[in-house]
Structure 1
Amino acid sequence: MNITQEKTGNLNAVVKIKIEPADYSEKVEKAIKDQAKKAQLPGFRKGMVPAAHIKKMYGKSILVEEVNNLLNDTLSNYIAEQKLEILGQPLPKMDDEREFKWDYTDEFEFDYELGLAPALEIDLSSKDKFTEYVVKADKETLESRIKNIRRSYGKMTNPEVSEEGDVLYAELTQLAQDGSVFEGGITNTATLRLDQVKDKEILKSLVGLKKDDEVTVDIQKAFEDAAVVAKALNISEEDAAELKSDFKLHIKNINRLEESDLNQEFFDKLFGEGTVTDEAGFRAKIQEEVESMFKQDAERKLSNDIYEELLKKFPLELPDEFLRRWLKATNEKLTDEELAEGYDDFAKNLKWTLIENKIIKDNQIEIKYEDVVQAAKAKLDAQFRMYSPSPLPEDQLAQYAVQFLQEKENANRTFEEVKAIKTFDHIKSIVTLEPKEIDYDKFVALEKK
């Protein structure tokens, strides 16, 4: 057997593998004998089929399989021995001029294209600076959160006159262009949330209504959301998006969720008995909770800023043409249009993966199974807390985490999440982070840029 490598570019190479009968004959003969022992053919007892008969019937397919196995093993071992860092997988290079007899005497030659990873050196220091935003809750955001919490623990009432934030229970009837009822048109009874009304003039017309009042509304203009309109009229979103008619609203009832009183019973329900005893303490707790959520947003922005900056600081060349061919070869349903649209994002993510792997390798960062289990437990705990404030017992949470990680996709995704966290933590331990306080509304505007 002879293996050679030829560089065809900075990041491309072709590996040639020549195989002689001596390389594969013994393997093929053994495979034929093994098949003969297992074969069940008419006229022969099980295990008594002559090897020559198997060779005559199935010899060519066995030869092809064994040569392919030999090629795969040889190529994998060669890449490992030569310490080649490849991208994607080797692609067999087709040669229409080569024809093999497959008669057990052939000398085979196969060529494989390789896409090679670019050389990379990561140089980070305290001279690399990043802004670490400390997001503060502005008054409007804080008041909105407090209002939502109080309403969540409040009680439903039926006031006589509607106000902003109420829910109208109304019968909706489609109107013709002249304002008369559209014969055979849409009618439905539904609840309409006034906090979802986008048009200010329409909202104004829905405030101050009483039971049995009627009002005409351009429902499409009111909500500017096909999904909301579709739900209110019990039609498809496609039909809702095309709807042009006005609707008559006949008010059947007005619902209002009254805010809970700021008393000890309310505080105890939220935070546990005696934890908070007055409004000032309540507001401080809510501010702490809100800014804790903002901290997660700020951490995501910091990680994204690091991601973008390192991609600029360490520009990488890729074997793009090879990678495009590889993506097409390994994704049969991938169209040329989809490849053209998605390749830049694929290449960007691949470049980051190379940077990430280099940081992990150079700094001997370990990702242990225990780290992955802990991440899975944290993820599951957060999910369970959405439905119940009481935490799961530790042993039960651990059991759920193990079950969760038995799914290969869950395990791989969680591993990659831990890998990313450890990489960013390492980077943040080296570079300079400059804290900067910012109001939430300004932070949101910053993220949209």
Structure 2
Amino acid sequence: MQTTETLSQGLKREYQVVLAAAELAEKLEAQLAEMKDKVRINGFRPGKVPASHLKRLYGKSIMGDVVQQAVTDAQNKILSDNNMRLAGQPKLDFPEDRDEMEKVLEATGDLSFKIAFEVLPSFEVGSFEDIELERLVAEVPEEEIEQQLKALADGNRAYADREEGAEAQNGDKLTIDFVGRIGDEAFEGGAAEGVDLVLGSGSFIPGFEAQLEGAKVGDERKVTVTFPEDYQAAHLAGKEAVFDVTVKVVAAPQEVAIDDELAKKFGLESLDKLREAVIARIKADYDRASREKLKRALLDALDKKFDFELPQDMVEHEFNGIWGQIQAEQNAAGKTFADEGTTEEAQRAEYRRIAERRVRLGLVVAEVGDKAGVRVGDDEVTRAIVERARQFPGQEKLFWEYYQKNPQALAEIRAPIYEEKVVDHIVGQAKVTDKTVAKEELFKAEDEEKTA
């Protein structure tokens, strides 16, 4: 096999590969000899089928396998000899002349083809002692603990029917039937029967609940509301709707105590234990927010620290994924870039920058993890699958089988675990100082898409 480099430009490589006809014939004969003792053909004893007969029957199909293996061998040899790693699938260019390929399949002509690919960039990881990070932390305020306890109490509050003819007040629970219309036409999802609604809870469209205050059992009211502009159902967003509402029950909230009895409803022995559970849950939320802030700051620092040429095929693949999602969201919302005060050209440039950042950081994380010997154990993957399966009660077995049979899905479980372990490795070397902040700053929203 002869390989000749024909292009070396940045991360792009191209090679001309030639496999002589004699070498093809040798590989074919070796395959035929191996087949001779295995194949069963009428009229011949086992192991006695002439090679010439086998060649007539199977020669071309075997040569197809030989050619495929030759391509794999050439690719592996090029990468090994030049200490390169593929950044994506190679592109192969075979002769278009049918007569030439026919000779190749008959092992009477040389196999000549081109192989082009991009390689992963080489860069030094170095240490991370020069990275300085702030870890935002916040104390859990007492009022939040009390709010959570009150919310638990409210969620378990009992309601008693008001006396006949009593008017509904804010805080009362109504049981209603309703049918919604836009213009004269009912819309999908706009009708229901026997729905419980606590007035003032904000669980319905803004303005809906307030129009039912003062209603009595048996009342039929027309409630007029306008769907928010950002309503999840795009065909309803911003539109005015009229609901025909029938009030079936008006019930008043009963007093509820935040005490040991409330705790027992959640399987805990005392109010102190319930309080501890609430604090632990809030603290877990705070810790997750702190972790996300720290990780984002670290990724920003890594993005500034490393600067190397990126495989354009990887960037293009990442960009296409992002852009496809953006277009799908726009189509669902019925909006254009002009509606958002920008242009397609500007957004393409912005999202390409995001794609480049993601590819760069992905390569850095992979390289750091490889150098540090980071591994994800099967037990870690299993725990992650179990956690996801819990979100689908009753379907755990199907969920598990899906991941067992889909290597790609399993890789999608493993990848974030690997990334988190690499982040921990880097954070362990960086200079991290804790900064106490208010809850509002810890949970301050960021534009996830623009900074991911």
- Which interval holds the TM-score relative to the shorter structure? 0.7 to 0.9
Report the counterpart of residue 224 of structure 2 in structure 1: 218
Counting only pairs closer than 5 Å after superposition, residues 169-188 of structure 1 correspond to structure 2 as 169-173=175-179, 188=192
Counterpart residue type for residue 55 of structure 2 = K
Counterpart residue type for residue 262 of structure 2 = F
Classify 1:447/1:69 alpha carbon distance in 2 versus 1 (closer, same or farther; 3 Å).
same
Counterpart residue type for residue 316 of structure 1 = F
**8 Å contact from structure 1 (residues 151, 258) kept in 2:** no
Report the counterpart of residue 395 of structure 1 in structure 2: none
Displacement of 1:355: 0.5
**Is 1:107–2:116 an aligned residue pair?**
no
Displacement of 1:166: 4.7
Report the counterpart of residue 425 of structure 1 in structure 2: 424
**8 Å contact from structure 2 (residues 150, 258) kept in 1:** no
Q: Aligned equivalents of 2:182 and 2:358: distance in 1?
A: 54
Report the counterpart of residue 261 of structure 1 in structure 2: 257
Report the counterpart of residue 31 of structure 1 in structure 2: 31
**8 Å contact from structure 2 (residues 176, 249) kept in 1:** yes
Aligned Cα RMSD in Å? Answer: 4.4
Displacement of 1:115: 0.7
**Is 1:365–2:385 an aligned residue pair?**
no
Displacement of 1:428: 0.8
Classify 1:296/1:31 alpha carbon distance in 2 versus 1 (closer, same or farther; 3 Å).
same
Q: SS of the residue aligned with 2:123? A: coil
Classify 1:321/1:184 alpha carbon distance in 2 versus 1 (closer, same or farther; 3 Å).
closer
Displacement of 1:327: 11
**8 Å contact from structure 1 (residues 89, 326) kept in 2:** no
Displacement of 1:440: 2.9
Report the counterpart of residue 63 of structure 2 in structure 1: 63
**8 Å contact from structure 2 (residues 87, 314) kept in 1:** no
Structure 1, residues 313-345: CA drift from partner, whole Å, max 9, x if none? 2123213168759999xx9xx9xx99x898665
Classify 1:259/1:104 alpha carbon distance in 2 versus 1 (closer, same or farther; 3 Å).
farther
Aligned match of 1:117 in 109, 116, 120? 120
Structure 1, residues 83-120: CA drift from partner, whole Å, max 9, x if none? 21221122213555794422322122222112122221
Counting only pairs closer than 5 Å after superposition, residues 137-286 of structure 1 correspond to structure 2 as 137=140, 141-159=144-162, 160-164=166-170, 166-173=172-179, 188-191=192-195, 193=197, 194=199, 195-196=201-202, 201-221=207-227, 244-254=240-250, 260-270=256-266, 272-274=268-270, 276-277=271-272, 283=275, 285-286=277-278
Report the counterpart of residue 352 of structure 1 in structure 2: 361
Q: SS of the residue aligned with 2:444? A: helix
Higher relative contact order (CA 8 A, sep 6+): 1
Report the counterpart of residue 335 of structure 2 in structure 1: none
Displacement of 1:19: 0.9
Classify 1:352/1:210 alpha carbon distance in 2 versus 1 (closer, same or farther; 3 Å).
same
Q: Aligned equivalents of 1:139 and 1:164: distance in 2?
A: 27
Aligned match of 1:305 in 277, 297, 303? 297
Q: Aligned equivalents of 1:206 and 1:138: distance in 2?
A: 36
Classify 1:417/1:444 alpha carbon distance in 2 versus 1 (closer, same or farther; 3 Å).
same
Classify 1:175/1:201 alpha carbon distance in 2 versus 1 (closer, same or farther; 3 Å).
closer
Q: Aligned equivalents of 1:62 and 1:175: distance in 2?
A: 68
Classify 1:148/1:46 alpha carbon distance in 2 versus 1 (closer, same or farther; 3 Å).
farther
**8 Å contact from structure 2 (residues 314, 359) kept in 1:** no
**8 Å contact from structure 1 (residues 162, 207) kept in 2:** yes
Report the counterpart of residue 83 of structure 1 in structure 2: 83
Counting only pairs closer than 5 Å after superposition, residues 36-51 of structure 1 correspond to structure 2 as 50-51=50-51
Report the counterpart of residue 13 of structure 2 in structure 1: 13
Counterpart residue type for residue 10 of structure 2 = N
Consecutive unaligned residues in structure 2, runs of 5 or more: 329-347, 394-398
Displacement of 1:154: 3.6
Displacement of 1:386: 10
Q: SS of the residue aligned with 1:109? A: strand
Classify 1:158/1:351 alpha carbon distance in 2 versus 1 (closer, same or farther; 3 Å).
farther
Q: Aligned equivalents of 1:273 and 1:184: distance in 2?
A: 50
**8 Å contact from structure 1 (residues 134, 436) kept in 2:** yes
Structure 1, residues 286-311: CA drift from partner, whole Å, max 9, x if none? 23421222211221221122123212
Q: SS of the residue aligned with 2:4? A: strand
Q: Aligned equivalents of 2:316 and 2:362: distance in 1?
A: 17
Q: SS of the residue aligned with 1:78? A: helix
Displacement of 1:52: 2.4
Counting only pairs closer than 5 Å after superposition, residues 321-360 of structure 1 correspond to structure 2 as 324=316, 346-360=355-369
Counterpart residue type for residue 294 of structure 1 = Y
Q: Aligned equivalents of 1:162 and 1:139: distance in 2?
A: 33
Q: Aligned equivalents of 1:326 and 1:304: distance in 2?
A: 19
Q: Aligned equivalents of 1:248 and 1:384: distance in 2?
A: 39
**8 Å contact from structure 1 (residues 156, 255) kept in 2:** yes
Counterpart residue type for residue 189 of structure 1 = E
**8 Å contact from structure 2 (residues 174, 247) kept in 1:** yes
**8 Å contact from structure 2 (residues 208, 225) kept in 1:** no
Q: Aligned equivalents of 1:201 and 1:324: distance in 2?
A: 46
TM-score when scaled to structure 2?
Answer: 0.73
Q: SS of the residue aligned with 2:148? A: helix
Number of residue-to-residue matches in the alignment: 412
Counterpart residue type for residue 111 of structure 1 = K
Q: Aligned equivalents of 1:313 and 1:243: distance in 2?
A: 49
